């Protein structure tokens, strides 16, 4: 039965039979089963639910609720009529079976209705006797007119039973205020925010710290982030296919609990290891050793030995696997659950809010991760930075004078990580906090019903936009659904518009995933800013641009109530915007001059180097180490370290100054020059235009995801929407998010100017050619957007509008057969 409330109801014989049986059982109960005080039926079939409700009052025009006793007395007529109708229906049905007549006959209110004729008696006043509760029922097998007072209430009480929010049969009244689309949106947005903070914020910002703390190299640490994508990819199809017919909020709740467990496991190595020993910083000054002393920059064969702490690498891998498994239901089942319980024009706006919160998660993770890293990793060491931050924040909020900017400066300074390169902050603290919050929210999510109140009415009014000829039904039950799995996959991969949309999303994630991984590196090199500053700008632009785009995209879909072709057209316009904004990567900055690489040393005729062999006559006897600790000379040239600049003295004071540098020419006076720690500042006029155009690129990128995800679930059958999102996730992960950073990383390495080769065979790039780096990012973004536009055009041209058949979106709406089946996973 498609709908029970409002409008015409289409009923076939298979739907009439259980309705009559249920009504007969309900009406044969004794009158003393009715509790006149509580207004409930105490019989076993009632579920202790009120027969009367305010929704029925609004439907039948009443404005004030009546007492249960009065209500019961007023309904005796309808109950008697229905009881008589049941008896007459069963009698006619038996006669039909004996005569071999296939037409069903149902007699109500003195009128009988068969397959082809409807006889309506004339009332005393000569007019047709039509009651307010009458419904016209048209079907090929049966045509009937039903007085729906009692029938609607019988089924309505069952729907209310399964739409309550609660746990193990306990449904607190105060919890029901969240039992609506807005309440569900609040919780899934919170889950998305926290999970994004953890998986894309805290993990990424902690990678370098983990390398120092647990003796990991870059190759191993890269697999820590990749384990998340691989695990999510492995379970996405199974979760979405089996979760489609189950209780989607429960799947999300279980997934969030698994994610919270992964967060706790990620922090576990901190408690299983001893106290961290930072050691001493190496001597960075030029020291000329005796001839029989081993040089510091030589490899003695002991490099690359794996520390015992590196075994915890597998604990981080396990935690990331649990993160990937736990997140898979949220972005698939959560989206389709919102679609099931929202009108089509409202879904896009809700999806925009959801995407905006998802974009804010990583940015917030970077910001809070920086605060956590200000706290020393071990509890026994007192670090007051967190208290300094709190104090500066309170001063800023309470300031009403012109000194506000001074308090703001104090606040920003609290975010700076200590300059000691051996410092290890409390990387684990954020994982414990987020894991605890996720567990609490997962328990709340487990209380949501399979369908929110009003979802059946929404489904009955929605028009189908499924690709013509792609209808699909897998049947009820786990066994039948597993048997239908190959047919389900075949039905989706032969849906050309759906496949085209999937490949468009793949193109988008191909370059977007590369930008998320190497975006800070690009800004650090091009804009000549620190790694922490680059991470701050990336997080700020991502949160502002992607979040704004997602909200705008959702509002446009709601404002114009876009259908499939309108959604694709809107996505194409956004893709054109991304294509134009990709020119941001053509706004490049000049390279900082690096001695021995881009500019020669003074009084030196050596060729410029491409590997770490930046020695000259002025520093050849200094026995310099291999650590990259750049200094800016007084000649505005960058040197690999103070030792490579030939500096032999260091001044004591608030600011470090290296003096007596034999490789630096003093422009003001004869003799050696000086150097300051850090990179040299070079003005770049393209910096702020780049930020502006990059903001536009991220805005269009956030905007395009909303219509694309909406179009994905519009062009597939209703029973395959979640599975379609899972298959789409599989495609863009396997062909986009996983290979995207790898391909971009290989191309970035081609633009490296200065490599450092380690003793264990690995190498690190310290300086890139900005002009080549700019072209790499530009062409990757350009080609991905051009390919995406081609796929969107293919989706638009191959889409065939539905053939006009009504019903829920994509076909028959799944029936809620009973409470046990409804509340199962």
Judge whether 388 lies within some domain: yes
Q: Which domain holds residue 650?
A: 593-681
Per-residue pLDDT, 532: 64
What is the arithmetic mean of pLDDT over 39-52? 42
| 152 and 110 co-located in one domain | yes
Beta strands in 589-684 (DSSP E): 631-633, 638-639, 647-651, 657-665, 672-677
Per-residue pLDDT, 337: 94
Q: Is 468 helix (H, G, I), strand (E, B) or coil?
A: coil
Answer with the one of 106, 138, 162 that is the final residue of a domain: 162
Quote the CA–CA distance of 191 and 323 in Å, as a whole number.
13
| CA distances to 257, 329, 442, 704, 709 from 722, in Å | 21, 9, 20, 20, 11
Q: Which of 429-433, 435-439, 468-472, 498-502 is least confident?
A: 468-472
| 206 and 118 co-located in one domain | no
Report whether pLDDT(609) > 50.
yes
Check residues 141 and 161 and name the one with the higher pLDDT. 161
Number of domains in the chain: 5
Judge whether 2 lies within some domain: no
Per-residue pLDDT, 662: 87
Report whether pLDDT(198) > 90.
yes
DSSP per residue over 21-63, as a string? Answer: HHHHHHHTS-GGGEETTTTEE-STTTTT-BS--HHHHHHHT--
Check residues 95 and 597 and name the one with the higher pLDDT. 597
Res. 389 pLDDT band, cuts 50 70 90: low
Per-residue pLDDT, 395: 62
| 325 and 450 co-located in one domain | yes
Check residues 442 and 207 and name the one with the higher pLDDT. 442
The H-or-E segment that residue 556 falls in is helix 547-560
Judge whether 196 lies within some domain: yes
Per-residue pLDDT, 524: 83
Per-residue pLDDT, 273: 84
Mean per-residue pLDDT of the chain: 74
Per-residue pLDDT, 794: 96
Q: Which residues pair with 675 in a beta bridge?
A: 633, 658
Q: Is 611 helix (H, G, I), strand (E, B) or coil?
A: strand
DSSP3 helix / strand / coil % (the chain, rounded to 5): 55, 10, 35
| 532 and 659 co-located in one domain | no
Q: What is the pLDDT of residues 258-288, one digit of tens each?
A: 999 999 999 999 888 877 765 444 556 887 6
Angle between helix 429-445 and 344-372 (nearest 10): 150
Q: What is the pLDDT of residues 729-747, one digit of tens each?
A: 999 989 998 888 888 888 9
Per-residue pLDDT, 670: 74
* Cβ density class 453-474: b for 16+ within 10 Å, e for less: bbbbbbbbebebbbbeebbbeb
Check residues 465 and 355 and name the one with the higher pLDDT. 355
Check residues 463 and 407 and name the one with the higher pLDDT. 463
Quote the CA–CA distance of 780 and 264 in Å, as a whole number.
37
Written in H, E and C, the secondary structure of 729-798 is HHHHHHHHHCHHHHHHHHHHHCCEEEEEECCCCCEEEEEECHHHHHHHHHHHHHHHHHHHHHHHHHHHHH
Report whether pLDDT(218) > 70.
no
Judge whether 294 lies within some domain: no
Query: Which residue, among 463, 339, 453, 465, has the nearest Cα to 5 in the 3D structure?
Result: 453
| CA distances to 303, 525, 537, 541, 561 from 520, in Å | 29, 9, 8, 11, 38
Per-residue pLDDT, 116: 40
| 401 and 358 co-located in one domain | no
What is the arithmetic mean of pLDDT over 422-430? 79
List the CATH number of the domain containing 730: 1.20.1250.20
Beta strands in 590-737 (DSSP E): 631-633, 638-639, 647-651, 657-665, 672-677
- What is the number of alpha carbons within 13 Å of residue 416 lying toward its C-beta? 9
For residues 130 and 136, the answer to whether their CB atoms sit within 8 Å is no
Token pair 């998802």 in the structure block, residue: 358
Angle of CA points 216, 220, 222, to nearest 5° = 115
| 394 and 328 co-located in one domain | no
Q: Which of 157-166, 459-468, 691-700 is least confident?
A: 157-166
* Cβ density class 261-293: b for 16+ within 10 Å, e for less: bbbbbbbbbbeeeeebeeeeeeebbbeeeeeee
What is the arithmetic mean of pLDDT over 194-209? 86
Contacts of 222 (CB under 8 A, 6+ apart): none
Give the count of beta carbons closer than 10 Å to the beta carbon of residue 178.
Answer: 15
What is the share, in percent, of the chain residues with pLDDT greater than 70? 63
| 203 and 67 co-located in one domain | no
Per-residue pLDDT, 606: 54
Report whether pLDDT(73) > 60.
no
Res. 623 pLDDT band, cuts 50 70 90: confident
Report whether pLDDT(408) > 90.
no
Check residues 502 and 721 and name the one with the higher pLDDT. 502
Per-residue pLDDT, 467: 63
Per-residue pLDDT, 126: 43
Torsion of CA 560, 566, 571, 572, to 10 degrees: -130
Q: Which of 19-33, 180-194, 430-444 is least confident?
A: 19-33
Most confident of 274-283, 468-477, 779-788: 779-788
| 719 and 653 co-located in one domain | no
Check residues 134 and 617 and name the one with the higher pLDDT. 617
| 623 and 500 co-located in one domain | no
Judge whether 260 lies within some domain: yes
Angle of CA points 139, 144, 149, to nearest 5° = 120
Check residues 194 and 156 and name the one with the higher pLDDT. 194
Query: Which residue, among 426, 429, 304, 446, has the nearest Cα to 760 in the 3D structure?
Result: 304
Contacts of 276 (CB under 8 A, 6+ apart): 213, 377, 378, 424
Per-residue pLDDT, 739: 87
Q: Is 602 helix (H, G, I), strand (E, B) or coil?
A: coil
Contacts of 574 (CB under 8 A, 6+ apart): 549, 553, 700, 701, 703, 704, 707
Report whether pLDDT(344) > 60.
yes
Q: Which of 182-196, 356-370, 471-485, 688-702 is least confident?
A: 471-485
What is the share, in percent, of the chain residues with pLDDT greater than 90? 30
For residues 531 and 524, the answer to whether their CB atoms sit within 8 Å is yes
In the structure encoding, which two tokens stand for residue 190, read together?
């919170």
Answer with the one of 162, 195, 223 that is the final residue of a domain: 162
Per-residue pLDDT, 59: 41
In the structure encoding, which two tokens stand for residue 276, read together?
């961290």
Answer with the one of 132, 162, 192 that is the final residue of a domain: 162
Query: Which residue, among 347, 359, 364, 363, has the nearest Cα to 185 in the 3D structure?
Result: 347
| 138 and 275 co-located in one domain | no
Judge whether 138 lies within some domain: yes
Torsion of CA 570, 573, 575, 581, to 10 degrees: -140
Res. 608 pLDDT band, cuts 50 70 90: low
Q: Which residues pair with 41 in a beta bridge?
A: 34
Report whether pLDDT(171) > 70.
yes
Report whether pLDDT(658) > 50.
yes
Report whether pLDDT(109) > 90.
no
What is the arithmetic mean of pLDDT over 217-234? 81
Judge whether 825 lies within some domain: no
Judge whether 168 lies within some domain: no
Q: Which of 384-393, 423-432, 448-457, 650-659 is least confident?
A: 384-393
Check residues 551 and 89 and name the one with the higher pLDDT. 551
Res. 64 pLDDT band, cuts 50 70 90: very low
Check residues 34 and 357 and name the one with the higher pLDDT. 357
| 47 and 157 co-located in one domain | yes
Cα separation of the two ends of the chain: 23
What is the arithmetic mean of pLDDT over 657-667? 86
In the structure encoding, which two tokens stand for residue 164, read together?
């309550």
Q: Which of 8-17, 336-345, 376-385, 625-634 is least confident?
A: 8-17
Contacts of 182 (CB under 8 A, 6+ apart): none
| 158 and 213 co-located in one domain | no
């Amino acid at each position: 039965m498609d709908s029970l409330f409002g409008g015409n109801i289409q009923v076939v014989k298979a739907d009439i039979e259980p309705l009559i049986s249920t009504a007969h059982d309900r009406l044969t109960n004794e009158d003393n089963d009715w509790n006149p005080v509580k207004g409930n039926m105490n019989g076993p079939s009632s579920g202790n639910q009120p027969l009367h409700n305010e929704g029925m009052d609004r439907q039948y025009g009443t404005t004030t609720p009546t007492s249960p006793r009065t209500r019961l007395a007023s309904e005796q007529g309808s109950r008697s009529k229905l009881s008589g109708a049941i008896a007459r229906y069963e009698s006619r049905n038996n006669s039909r079976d004996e005569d071999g007549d296939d037409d069903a006959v149902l007699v109500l209110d003195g009128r009988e209705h068969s397959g082809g004729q409807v006889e309506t008696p004339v009332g005393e006043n000569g007019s047709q006797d039509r009651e307010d509760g009458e419904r016209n029922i048209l079907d090929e097998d049966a045509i009937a007119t039903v007085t729906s007072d009692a029938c609607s209430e019988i089924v309505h009480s069952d729907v209310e039973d399964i739409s309550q929010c609660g746990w193990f049969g306990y449904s607190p009244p105060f919890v029901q205020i969240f039992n609506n689309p807005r309440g569900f949106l609040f919780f899934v947005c919170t889950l998305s925010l926290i999970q994004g903070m953890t998986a894309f914020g805290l993990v990424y910002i902690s990678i370098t710290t983990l390398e120092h703390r647990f003796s990991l190299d870059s190759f191993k640490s890269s697999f820590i982030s990749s384990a998340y994508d691989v695990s999510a990819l492995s379970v996405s199809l199974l979760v979405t296919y089996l979760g489609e017919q189950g209780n989607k909020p429960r799947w999300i709740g279980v997934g969030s609990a698994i994610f919270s467990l992964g967060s706790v496991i990620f922090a576990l190595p901190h408690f299983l290891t001893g106290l961290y020993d930072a050691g001493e910083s190496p001597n960075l000054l030029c020291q000329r050793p005796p001839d029989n002393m081993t040089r510091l920059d030589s490899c003695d064969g002991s490099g690359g030995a794996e520390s015992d702490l590196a075994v915890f690498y597998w604990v981080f891998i396990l935690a990331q696997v649990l993160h990937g498994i736990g997140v898979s239901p949220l972005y698939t089942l959560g989206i389709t659950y919102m679609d099931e319980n929202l009108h089509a024009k409202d879904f896009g706006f809700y999806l925009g809010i959801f995407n905006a919160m998802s974009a804010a998660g990583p940015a917030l993770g970077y910001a809070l991760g920086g605060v956590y890293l200000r706290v020393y990793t071990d509890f026994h060491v007192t670090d007051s930075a967190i208290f300094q931050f709190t104090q500066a924040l309170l001063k800023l909020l309470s300031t009403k004078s012109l000194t506000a900017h001074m308090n703001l400066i104090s606040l920003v300074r609290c975010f700076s990580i200590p300059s000691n390169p051996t410092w290890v902050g409390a990387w684990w603290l954020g994982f414990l906090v987020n894991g605890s919050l996720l567990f609490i929210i997962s328990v709340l999510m487990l209380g949501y019903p399979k369908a929110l109140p009003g979802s059946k009415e929404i489904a009955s009014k929605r028009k189908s936009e499924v690709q013509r000829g792609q209808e699909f039904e897998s049947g009820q039950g786990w066994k039948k659904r597993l048997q239908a799995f190959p047919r389900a996959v075949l039905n989706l991969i032969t849906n050309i518009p759906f496949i085209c949309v999937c490949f468009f999303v793949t193109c988008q994630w191909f370059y977007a995933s590369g930008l998320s991984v190497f975006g800070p590196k690009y800004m650090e090199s091009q804009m000549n800013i620190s790694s922490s500053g680059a991470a701050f700008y990336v997080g700020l632009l991502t949160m502002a641009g992607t979040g704004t785009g997602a909200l705008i995209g959702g509002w446009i879909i709601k404002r114009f109530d876009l259908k499939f072709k309108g959604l694709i057209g809107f996505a194409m316009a956004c893709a054109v915007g991304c294509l134009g904004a990709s020119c941001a990567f053509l706004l490049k900055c000049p390279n900082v001059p690096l001695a021995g690489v881009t500019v020669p040393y003074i009084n030196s005729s050596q060729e410029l180097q491409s590997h770490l062999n930046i020695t000259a006559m002025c520093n050849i006897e200094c026995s310099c180490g291999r650590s990259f600790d750049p200094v800016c000379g007084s000649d505005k040239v960058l040197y690999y370290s103070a030792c490579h600049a030939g500096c032999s003295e260091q001044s004591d004071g608030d600011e470090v100054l290296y003096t007596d540098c034999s490789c630096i020419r003093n422009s003001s006076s004869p003799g050696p020059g000086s150097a300051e720690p850090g990179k040299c500042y070079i003005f770049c006029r393209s910096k702020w235009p780049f930020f502006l155009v990059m903001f536009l690129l991220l805005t269009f990128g956030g905007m395009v995801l909303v219509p694309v995800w909406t179009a994905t679930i519009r062009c597939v059958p209703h029973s395959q929407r979640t599975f379609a999102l899972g298959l789409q996730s599989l495609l863009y992960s396997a062909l986009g998010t996983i290979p995207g950073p790898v391909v971009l990383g290989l191309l970035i390495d081609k633009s490296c100017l200065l490599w450092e080769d380690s003793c264990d065979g690995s190498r690190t790039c310290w300086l890139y050619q900005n002009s080549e780096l700019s072209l790499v990012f530009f062409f990757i973004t350009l080609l991905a957007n051009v390919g995406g536009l081609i796929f969107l055009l293919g989706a638009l041209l191959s889409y065939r509008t539905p053939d006009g058949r009504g019903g829920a979106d994509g076909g028959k709406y799944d029936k809620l057969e009973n409470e046990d089946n409804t509340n199962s996973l």
